Amino acid sequence: MLRPRIIPCLLVHNGGLVKTVNFTNPKYVGDPINAVKIFNEKEVDELIVLDIDATAQNREPDYGRIRNLAAECRMPLCYGGGVKTVEQVERIISLGVEKVAVSSAAISDPDLVAQSAEVVGQQSVIVVMDVKKNGRGDMYELTTHNGARATGMFPVDFAKKIEHLGAGEVVINSIDNDGVMKGYDLDLVHKIRDAVNLPITVLGGAGSLNDIAQLISTFGIVGASAGSLFVFKGKYRAVLINYPSRVDKDALIEQSIEKRHE
């Protein structure tokens, strides 16, 4: 039976683990491999690792890093960053990664989604949509290159397109909510959820487990992803890798599902 997933998201910048706010000011928070080891011990549902340098610097994925992460990781791993070709997708999967995330390349070359799904399987092809509101704050727009380039494309339209092309999942990443820890953009999620039947993971804004509970009680089977929540602790944002215990996580999910059915 499918269940909601609670998913830490790690950002890699200059070889280190960082956390951003609104996709800017990356703060170093540790070594990615050490973080994976801790998340192994905490038995997380899944892990997303995004190299935020690769596309911006127009370079290939770091296959050595990917191999090391996959070898250490004992949970399903999704890796993204710099992926532009089917051959790269296939190579990353061959290194032991379960899912490959594409973002900018899916916009510039949508056929990449369909071709990758045919080669490695639909369930292994994830599309990340980096979304922010326009200057007036009244419309959502897709962006690329860490939010630096506007595309003029609407996320709902693009979500429909990638579903048709065979994407296995979409990650909705809110730039406006990134790192602010004040809750997910539920309005944005509603728009995407109403438009497609794809599995959805939501990233950007979680500041507490209550935010995750609200997301699950509102949308049901969904991936609740977070960065700051799982690497910071307390109001002073001290670096501490954390994740709810299995008992606490299961209780949160069950209570959220029950609330959804009330």
228-232 long-range Cβ contacts below 8 angstroms, 24+ apart: 228/19, 228/179, 228/181, 229/181, 230/8, 231/8, 231/10, 231/17, 231/19, 231/29, 231/30, 231/35, 232/19, 232/29
CB 223 within 8 A of CB 4: yes
Structure tokens at 42: 């905490």
Known catalytic membership, residue 53? no
Pick the catalytic residue from 51, 53, 130, 211.
Answer: 130
Q: Output the CA angle 149-152-157, nearest 5 degrees.
A: 120
Task: Provide the annotated active-site residues.
Answer: 130
